[in-house]
Amino acid sequence: MRFQAINQAQQREVVHPKSSEHSIPKLFATNVFNDDEMKKHLSKEAYIAVSVAIRDGISINRDMASHIADGMKRWAIERGASHYTHWFQPLTGATAEKHDSFYDGKDGQAIEKFSASNLVQQEPDASSLPSGGLRNTFEARGYTAWDPTSPAFIYENSTGSTLCIPTVFVSYNGEALDYKAPLLKSVQFLDEQATAVCQFFDEAITSCRASLGIEQEYFLVDKALFNSRPDLILCGRTLVGHAPAKGQQMEDHYFGSIPDRVFNYMYDFELECMKLGIPLKTRHNEVAPGQYECAPLYEEVNLAVDHNQLLMDLMDEVAHRHGFKVLLHEKPFAEINGSGKHNNWSVITNTGVNLLSPGNNPNSNLQFLTFFINTIKALHDSADIVRASIASAANDHRLGANEAPPAIISAFIGSTLTQVLNDFENGTSNTDDENENRTINIGSIPEILVDNTDRNRTSPFAFTGNKFELRAVGSSKNSAQPMTALNSAVGHQLKTFKAAVDARVKSGEDQRSAIISELKQALSDSRNILFEGNNYGDAWVEEAVKRGLSNIKNTPESLDAYVSEQALSVFVGNGIFSNAELHARLEIMQEEYTKKIQIEGRVLNELIYTYVIPSALNYIGRLSSNINSMSAAGVDAGSAQKELLTTITQHIDKAKELVDKMTEARRLANKIDDSRKQAVTYFEKVKSSFDEIRYHVDKLELLVDDELWKLPKYREMLFIR
């Protein structure tokens, strides 16, 4: 099967995009029920109702929803849609949908039907999706409810089109069972708190929105090679496989020329993204062979998350017709870089001001310093919550592996802003323009403008000019979870800050001096989370311990932060989650971790017994036959063949011994009822043996005749394009 797969991969032809229209201005958002389409298909009253709901969060009544549903249905059918679905994001991490036809039968004829109730609310089974105990098997009722702030869209495939309506997903009792509902609450909370603080500086500011741009990393593997690897199919990553002689050490893949077949795939899914209004801007080769990245323009955070979830679905679907499989696992291949999402976050006012933009002179920009310092303080106080929000079995492979930020949460702000904060805290005055454009001149080359901050790719939370980049999010993760944590943490800190300033003013202090005093205190309290150096170095680990920063390297332990006092204050105290919702999420994440490691353990057992050992025994049989034949002919087989035979046998024996021990540990862990104890046991007793088992398998891969090795090797999966 391996050699058949290699043959298929090598003979694949380049597939050209199926879209007949390649003009981005003509394609962009053609399958989105956006503002222009609403104006065309809705009455003036219905259009105003939707606009007000989007802008002010005011609910749409059922009568008006009926008019909106009628206009949306006509638009969708004009675009070729035959079905509609509520498109939601349950706590599986993937998207979910249940399709219903627009057409009902009446008097032997098909009639179009799409009512307000179809638009506003539907009822998927809440007991068959993760609920963390909020729903029992016999309590199946749950609701999806329309989110008008994210526009409906039409999803096309080869045989039909479907109207997709973004929704939240809640239980019968109203508890959130998805990622979107808490995100929307955090967006509203941050808006309220940021706007209140903005009133100190500009009364024209009446709202603030979190802005987000999500860079997405991924691997491409030929579909035939993928289908020949049970571990990739079931786990998303290779559980065994020796690193190829050439990996990424030559540093020749990053930003290199994009292979023709890959380029056509990228171009194809970009066209599909354009139809859905996903504003992709950038594509390039990433560091590891077979690894790539795409990045969009910035959008409102809720829409950006929806678009990223949709992007991942599109990438997978388009890859299928190009003979590829997209790998979104954080670490699909050992000993080369894994993949992440870089979440670029900022806050924008209704007046168009980026609250994290320093301006020409950050020393004199008190509004910027207010939001900049409060964001740092929020990260400091809620670092463990942010760490928990990015935790997963897959991301544990990546964090701190000298390819991604470590599990220690810190912030990088650059030398210029470090000096600004020093001057601010010390009360010194710097009359120089700290943000004046510097240039680099090289002969006839046009002058190079130098930014006021460098980039630090080793930092988990880096300031990059006018935004913070949360670099530690895993590539398969729904970004709603870390963004909910970040929005909530910053909103909570702004709320605390404003209350403290107001208290000072009430006691007679001047408002400006009150703001400055509170900012200095916040900066003093959170300085230990600022780090400008190499986050990969051992010295930073030692320094972080001295600073009292957490270094939680595994998911089961990191998830405890979700029920810490800080989490209760940030989430429950501000209405983002109820106490029950928070505990349910903790249980779901613990169970997800256990299930992921459980599946990997089962697959590893299967690989050892049905792929690795048979291949190795087959080769042993050949070696033994050859030795015996030489001996029968009176020829000494020599020590090399005998030593090879012994070495292979030893690796087989050790691999079998370890995998049997791991399997028994897994069986014992399965008997544990407590979800945290079970997750910890899987980490300590099951996952801990994976690398040792792999060591012996990978040695066998190097020793066994290539012709007999059944699993596609790294050199084939990473380099055949």
Q: How far is CA 131 from the centre of its chain?
A: 21
User: Residues in the chain, how many?
Assistant: 721
Give the residue-averaged pLDDT of 683-687: 97
Q: Is residue 234 very low, low, confident or very high in pLDDT (cuts 50, 70, 90)?
A: very high
Q: 347-384 burial by CB neighbour count: b if 16+ within 10 A, else e?
A: bbbeeebbbbbbeebbbebebbbbbbbbbbbbbbbbbb
CATH class of 187-529+539-577: alpha beta
How many angstroms separate the CA atoms of 529 and 167, rounded? 37
Q: Are 296 and 238 in contact (CB under 8 A)?
A: no
Instruction: Provide CB contacts within 8 A for 43, sequence distance 6+.
Output: 67, 71
Q: Residue 391: CB partners within 8 Å, gap ≥ 6?
A: 555, 558, 559, 589
**Which pLDDT does position 434 carry in this prediction?**
44
pLDDT band with cut points at 50, 70 and 90 for residue 289: very high
The helix/strand count (H/E) of the chain reads as 25, 19
Q: Which residues contact 324 (CB under 8 A, 6 or more apart)?
A: 220, 221, 222, 223, 262, 265
> At 501, which helix (H) or strand (E)?
helix 480-506
pTM, entire model = 0.94
Question: What is the pLDDT, as a whole number, of residue 109?
Answer: 63
pLDDT confidence bin for 436, thresholds 50/70/90: low
Biggest alpha carbon–alpha carbon distance for the chain: 106
pLDDT over 70 at 513, yes or no: yes
Residue 140: per-residue pLDDT: 76
User: What letters, b where the CB count within 10 A reaches 16 and e where it falls short, cover 543-569?
Assistant: bbeeeebbebebbbbbbebbbeebbee
Q: Which of 204, 207, 285, 225 is nearest to 252 (CA)?
A: 285
- pLDDT tens-digit series, residues 455-475: 677 899 999 989 999 999 999
pLDDT above 90 (res 441): no
Over residues 612-636, mean pLDDT: 91
Please list the alpha-helical segments (H only) found in 150-259: 180-198, 223-227, 230-235
Give CA–CA dist 388/390, Å, rounded.
5
Using DSSP's 3-state secondary structure scheme, residue 380 falls into: helix
Express each pLDDT in 237-282 by its tens digit: 999 999 999 888 877 888 889 999 999 999 999 999 999 999 999 9
User: What is the CATH architecture of 593-719?
Assistant: Up-down Bundle (1.20)
Confidence of residue 639 (pLDDT cuts 50, 70, 90): confident
What integer pLDDT is reported at residue 273 of this predicted model? 96
Q: How confident is the model over 591-605, as pLDDT tens digits? A: 999 999 999 999 999
Mean pLDDT of 553-563: 95
pLDDT value of residue 446: 59
Average pLDDT, the chain: 92
Torsion of CA 270, 276, 277, 278, to 10 degrees: -50
Q: Which of 17-21, 108-112, 232-236, 391-395 has the lowest mean pLDDT?
A: 108-112
What Rg value do the Cα atoms of the chain yield, rounded? Answer: 28
In percent, the amount of the chain with pLDDT more than 90 equals: 77
Indicate the pLDDT class of residue 431, thresholds 50, 70 and 90.
very low
End-to-end CA distance of the chain: 18
**Which single residue is written with the structure tokens 């510097």?**
438
pLDDT, tens only, 53-104: 888 878 888 889 999 999 999 999 999 999 999 999 999 999 999 999 998 8
Sequence spans of domains, the chain:
31-169, 187-529+539-577, 593-719
Question: Closest by alpha carbon to 26, among 318, 270, 275, 265?
Answer: 275
pLDDT score of 454 more than 80: no
3-state secondary structure 292-310: EEEEECCEEHHHHHHHHHH
Identify which of 174, 150, 145 has the alpha carbon closest to the alpha carbon of residue 86.
145
334-389 tens-digit pLDDT: 999 999 999 999 999 999 999 999 987 777 799 999 999 999 999 999 999 999 99
Determine the 3-state secondary structure of 119 from DSSP.
helix
Query: Per-residue DSSP letters for 324-363?
Result: EEEE--S-SSTTS---EEEEEEEEEETTS-BTT---S-GG
Q: How far apart are CA 652 and CA 669, in angstroms?
A: 26
Q: 415-426 vs 511-526: helix axis angle to the nearest 10? A: 120
E strands within 118-203?
121-122, 142-146, 153-157, 160-171
**Topology of the domain covering 31-169:** Ubiquitin-like (UB roll) (3.10.20)
Mention every residue, 6+ apart, whose C-beta is less than 8 A from residue 57.
Answer: 188
Question: Sorting pLDDT into bands at 50, 70 and 90, what band is 435?
Answer: very low
Q: What is the pLDDT of residue 427?
A: 83
Q: Quickly count: other Cβ atoms within 10 Å of residue 395's Cβ.
A: 24
Average pLDDT over residues 483-496: 98
Q: What is the DSSP letter of 713?
A: P
